[in-house]
Chains A and B, each alone.
Chain A
Amino acid sequence: MTAIRIGAGAGFSGDRIGPAVDLARRGELDFLIFECLAERTIAQAQLNRLSDSEGGFDPHLEARMRAVLPICQANGTRIISNMGAANPLAAARHVARLATELGVGGLCVAAVTGDDVLAYCRSALPDLDNGLNFADIAPRVISANAYIGAGPVVRALENGADVVLTGRVADPALFLAPLIHRFGWRMDDWDRLGKGTLAGHLLECAGQICGGYFADPGFNDVPDLANLGFPIGLIDAEGGVEITKLPGTGGAIRPATVKEQILYEILDPARYLQPDVIADFSNVAVEQIGPDHVRVTGATGHPRTGKVKATISYHDGYIGEGQISYAGPGAVARAELARSVIRQRLEPLGLREGRVDLIGVDALHGPLPGAAAAPNEVRLRAIGRSDDKDAASMIGQEVEALYTNGPAGGGGAWKSVRAAVSLCSALLDERVVDPDVTFYEAQPT
């Protein structure tokens, strides 16, 4: 049977749109899939929805759809995305309206809902991964969304959807769904579900498998990184997976880039927990079969756990931050003096947590082992959290005050204070999630 061609059009919400347009034009794709919903994204989307009942979907939805919808419709390419974020219904209505405006008449847009488990959590009070119970944070909770599987996306495709918009769906399941739909895989065919999950996992970060996030000059050189292309997956009915990209695009698909992606965000490679299957990547092998063309074999799967993960976001006080730079001879010594002054001045605020780092010296990984050459410039970054917004604001104010009350030569002070949102997760019985699919149609032209 002919392989299905799936393009990955985004690896995160803010991803570049040009490579997706190129894929839509030249990729001869059956499906173009946009994975745009990080763990942190849905909390902000839910806050947007609270202030606008027709809001709460991905802020780049319209720009992406404007760019690819007419091309995809002309080429017979169907679109799947989790850009529905906290409001898939409003997202689908928006895309149906947009399609009408663009003259893409008769377009069928499906919204997948049911990932929102906030009401269930409020009554069932599940235990959380951070050692607390839902009841401990209930008044501060913003959102609770379960990672749902491929099932409802398959249902949308079976009913003729040209565009499927979801909220929280397990990332690889966005890619697994069209495989189940096209090849008629059973939902207990663990081996093929495992292979299809690998395909989805390889594609879900878009440019990464093509050499994005890989270049390290002199060690891992990547050609024409500026024109990095996005990947195409060729998947057959048996679950065979090949990955390639369009000719003339930048980047490189090599065993090394593919191996990094296979293990990206993986804990136990033999047990990648998904709502539909436990995927097993422990015997996966990669083989280069042409320029920028690899074959990946050896994935399998095991029966799913029957549990789904839900990510819960909640208000967690305020974060205040201030930064200021020091340069020239003695830069580090003056920044160290500023750090001790700031610590002394912030001490009475009784911040819940806080830290003062010197960017260029110890901000990312702490003090360096062994002596390093003194940098010519260094930036102090003070940040802390408080339940009191005024106390959090004081952090930036105290950093700014280093201008006239601190060591010599501080420059470029900057400050901010923002409401903080934290995340935790709970494991729920899969039966508490009841996904639904709603269809909208663009007016015929």
Chain B
Amino acid sequence: MILRDIAHCRSGDKGNTLNIAVIARDPDDYDLLCREVTQERVAEFLRDKVKGRVTRYEVPTLGALNFVLEDALSGGVVGSLTLDTHGKSMSSALLGLPIGSSTDRDGG
């Protein structure tokens, strides 16, 4: 299973900082998201792109996690030399994150 099977994502940029919201399709999967999509795993998965700190915020009323990735845009929208200067496609990259075995979905 990959993250795309249970969640949808949206990224946004502020200067050289990127945020990626990870939102459970089914609110019952929120606990699974919290367990599997940790700060450490996201930092590791996106290590080639994100040079700075990764912080996770939890928003249980939305069944969502918000990741803030610092120094992730090679200088921000205007300065960056990368093809996707906004980091818009990073949300799609994160959807490829492998997550737990099917037994993790007890009751889900």
Interface residues of A in 32-81 (CB under 8 A from B): 38-40, 43
Q: Is A129 an interface residue (CB 8 A)?
A: yes
Interface size of A by Cβ–Cβ distance < 8 Å? Answer: 53
* Cβ-neighbour of B14 out of A267, A283, A357, A383 (below 8 A): A267
Contacts of A140 in B (CB 8 A): none
B79 & A420 in contact (Cβ 8 Å cutoff): yes
Q: Is B54 an interface residue (CB 8 A)?
A: no
Query: A219-260, CB under 8 A of B: which get 1 and which 0?
Result: 110000000000000000000000000000000000010011
Interface residues of A in 275-295 (CB under 8 A from B): 281-286
B10 & A365 in contact (Cβ 8 Å cutoff): no
* Cβ-neighbour of A364 out of B62, B66, B84 (below 8 A): B84
* Cβ-neighbour of B78 out of A43, A282, A353 (below 8 A): A43
Query: Complex: how many Å from CA A283 to CA B62?
Result: 8
B78 & A259 in contact (Cβ 8 Å cutoff): no
Query: Complex: how many Å from CA A408 to CA B89?
Result: 31
Of A38, A265, A270, A381, which is in contact with the most chain B CB atoms at under 10 Å from its CB? A265
Query: A339-379, CB under 8 A of B: which get 1 and which 0?
Result: 00000000000000111010100011111000000000000
Closest to B20 in A: A263
Contacts of B82 in A (CB 8 A): 355, 357, 363-364
Of B4, B8, B17, B84, which is in contact with the most chain A CB atoms at under 10 Å from its CB? B8
Contacts of B23 in A (CB 8 A): 256, 259-260, 263
Q: Is A429 an interface residue (CB 8 A)?
A: no
> In angstroms, how far is the closest chain B Cβ from the Cβ of A417?
13
> In angstroms, how far is the closest chain A Cβ from the Cβ of B83?
5
Q: Is A313 an interface residue (CB 8 A)?
A: yes
Closest to A317 in B: B79
A263 & B10 in contact (Cβ 8 Å cutoff): yes
> In angstroms, how far is the closest chain A Cβ from the Cβ of B53?
12
Tell me whether A319 and B89 are in contact in the complex, defined as CB-CB below 8 angstroms, given that A260-B21, A265-B13 are known contacts.
Answer: no
Contacts of A366 in B (CB 8 A): 48-49
Query: Complex: how many Å from CA A264 to CA B49?
Result: 20
* Cβ-neighbour of B59 out of A40, A269, A420, A425 (below 8 A): A269
* Cβ-neighbour of A421 out of B8, B21, B68, B78 (below 8 A): B78
A354 & B81 in contact (Cβ 8 Å cutoff): yes
B68 & A267 in contact (Cβ 8 Å cutoff): yes
* Cβ-neighbour of A422 out of B59, B62, B75, B90 (below 8 A): B75
Closest to A321 in B: B81
Q: List 22 A-B contacts (CB under 8 A).
A: A40-B77, A43-B78, A259-B21, A260-B8, A260-B10, A261-B10, A263-B10, A263-B12, A265-B19, A268-B57, A284-B59, A284-B61, A284-B62, A285-B62, A319-B81, A359-B83, A363-B83, A365-B90, A366-B48, A366-B49, A385-B81, A422-B79
- CB within 8 Å of B: which residues of A? 38-40, 43, 129, 213-214, 216, 219-220, 256, 259-270, 281-286, 298, 313, 316, 319, 353-355, 357, 359, 363-367, 381, 383-385, 420-425
